[in-house]
Amino acid sequence: METDALFWDSLVFEGIGEVEVEAATAAFGTVEVVARGRAGGAACPDCGRLSDRVHDRYQRRLRDLPLADQDFVIRLTVRRFICGFADCPRRTFAEPFSRLTVPHARFTTHLGKWGSRWPGGPALGWRPSWASAGDG
């Protein structure tokens, strides 16, 4: 079932201006939001110069806290930019989403912060990627 993208944009990404919702669906107990970055470019993490030259795109699948007893997933399109500054050692870098997630994570910062406190989370098999198997 297709749902209203503007509704999800305001509900899920309130205060996170770096993300724009393209589509949202709800089916089989899962709400999935498809999103992308709003910015025209990003600053290179090494030299700090702004780049708007897109090298590639890839998808990240981020889990978030359940919503109304349904799993909640964000499919985020991330752009890789080319750093055009000749003296910079970095050639490409990924678009940052610092208010939404951290690099390489498979969950949102919201889930990372509250997920371990969510009743039943670990009992239902949820474990953040940064938690070791021995953590309780």
What is the DSSP annotation of 64-116? EEEETTEEEEEEEEEEEEE---TT-S--EEEPP-TTT--TT-SB-HHHHHHGG
At residue 80, does pLDDT exceed 60? yes
Question: How much is the average pLDDT of 112-120?
Answer: 53
Distance, CA of 79 to CA of 94 (rounded, Å): 6
Supply the pLDDT for residue 132. Answer: 44
Reduced to 3 states, what is the DSSP secondary structure of residue 1?
A: coil
Whole-prediction pTM: 0.71
Please, are residues 32 and 25 in contact by the beta-carbon 8 Å criterion?
yes
Reduced to 3 states, what is the DSSP secondary structure of residue 34?
A: strand
Task: Provide the 8-state DSSP code for 124.
Answer: G
pLDDT band of 26, cuts 50, 70, 90:
confident
Which helix (H) or strand (E) segment is 5 a member of? helix 5-12
